[in-house]
Amino acid sequence: FDEVQLICVLRNQASFLQSVYQQIASSRPPADWPAYFDRVIEIRMADGLMLDYNLFYSHLLTGFSRPQIRLISYDHATRAEGGIIGTWLRELDLPLSPADLVPVRDEDANISAEPLATFTAARLSRPGLLTGALVNLTQEALRQGFGPDRRSTLFTRDELARLEEVFAPMNAALSARVALYQPGFAIGPMLGGGAAVWREDLTEEFWITA
């Protein structure tokens, strides 16, 4: 090829870790969350995936030059015009808009359950594997207890503060490293703007309902 460019989308560590946990829970019983969370903070990795993006960027530099690497903030991309698809089309310099594409059918869309629904379903299904039916039930219990449109997170507020304390300086360092080629690049805030229902908000009434 005459030109090679690597485009890499990075998600804030809180949202990424939450997504990793949900993927683990869908395929095997997840580890006890507090111990797993402490381990993630200690080694800066989640199930073999780097959460210190400086290490990840350094690894990319073993095979690509700095001008060949283009980083995209997932959080900023999803909020940009046309969302993540619109961002990709612009990055690839294609004369298309998301409206020009055929939408994915609902049954083919990869839409995750609410994180707290996955977490509570995993707790209730121990020592077995959670099922989609159980996740649907815990998601309905969340809707009944907290409202149909309130986003949730499996973190506590203190856990999110710990993630911010550990990873925000690393993210700032990465922004400084790529500033020459991508001025203004930033990954985005933890959880991409917050959540309405936290793990510590789960009441006895909710667990009884679940």
- pLDDT at position 176, please? 97
pLDDT tens track for 14-28: 999 999 999 999 888
Q: Is the per-residue pLDDT at 129 higher than 90? A: no
Q: Which two tokens stand for residue 83?
A: 């969302």
Considering Cα of 121, then 163, then 170, then 189, what sign does the dihedral take?
A: positive
Q: What percentage of the chain carries pLDDT values higher than 70?
A: 98
Tens-place pLDDT, residues 143-197 = 998 988 888 999 999 999 999 999 999 999 999 999 999 999 999 888 866 678 9
Whether omega for the bond prior to residue 127 falls within 30 degrees of 0, making it cis, is: yes
Can you give the pLDDT at residue 201?
94
Render pLDDT for 57-96 as a digit per residue (tens, 0 to 9). 999 999 999 999 999 999 999 999 999 999 999 999 999 9
Residue 111 has pLDDT above 90, yes or no: no
Residue 7, CA distances (Å) to 28, 72, 73 in order: 31, 7, 11
pLDDT confidence of residue 193: 63
Q: How confident is the model at residue 2 (pLDDT cuts 50, 70, 90)?
A: confident
Output the pTM of the full model. 0.89
Residue 46 pairs in a beta bridge with 49
How would residue 31 be classed by pLDDT, with cut points 50, 70 and 90?
confident
In the structure, what pLDDT confidence band is assigned to residue 110 with cuts at 50, 70 and 90? confident
Report the alpha-carbon distance of residue 98 to residue 83 in Å, rounded.
9
The pLDDT confidence band at residue 126, using thresholds 50, 70 and 90, is confident
71 φ, ψ (degrees, to nearest 5) = -100, 140
177 forms bridges with which residues in the sheet? Answer: none
Please provide the average confidence, as pLDDT, over all residues in the chain. Answer: 91
